[in-house]
Amino acid sequence: MPTVERTITVERPVQAIWTYLTDFTTTEQWDPPTVSTVCTSGDGGVGTTYHNVSRLLGREVAVDYEVVQYEPYRVFELTGTANGMDLRDTISFASGPETTTVTYRSEFRPKGAAKLATPLLAGGIELLGTRVAASLEEHLLAL
């Protein structure tokens, strides 16, 4: 299963970082491929759903996400389904005296015919992970 994980430490309080990242509609700001993200139900906690549209490899891909874990200032996790793929995004938070460390992990589980593209997907995900991490750090530092 292709996976990408990046860790970023910024000099910002965990409360501000948590509030920003658990409003998953902010992916429109910090996630380069995201075209739009709307909350379709819920209050942000477990069971909340989001509809995300991203542009990947020149085409738009829709993902319906659901929040499956919500532990304030510790873990925010969503699962999603797109064309032939299951996704799991986990954002972990650790606070220090003057810093917050964010670890963003995305797992991609191709299904059916999409499994054939797994080797290509893995390389693309690594490049995307680097772009997302740089954008995420830039936006977190602006908080």
* Ramachandran category for residue 80: left, alpha or beta (phi over 0 → left; psi -120 to 50 → alpha): beta
Give 118's pLDDT tier (boundaries 50, 70, 90): very low
- Tens digits of residue pLDDT in 41-89: 999 999 999 999 998 767 798 999 999 999 999 999 999 998 878 999 9
The pairing of strands 3-10 and 34-41 is unpaired
CATH number of the domain enclosing 96: 3.30.530.20
Range of the domain at 51: 3-142
1-5, 69-73, 85-89, 113-117 — which is least confidently predicted?
A: 113-117
- Tens digits of residue pLDDT in 76-94: 999 999 887 899 999 999 9
- List the one residue out of 66, 91, 122 whose CA is nearest residue 6: 91
To the nearest whole percent, how much of the chain has pLDDT over 70? 86
Tell me which DSSP letter residue 51 carries.
E
Average pLDDT value for the chain: 88
Q: State mean pLDDT over 24-52.
A: 97
| Position with higher pLDDT, 52 vs 122 | 52
Instruction: Quote the number of domains for the chain.
Output: 1
Task: Say what the pLDDT of residue 116 is.
Answer: 47
Its pTM stands at 0.88
Task: Say what the pLDDT of residue 77 is.
Answer: 98
**Which tokens hold the place of 130?**
């680097």
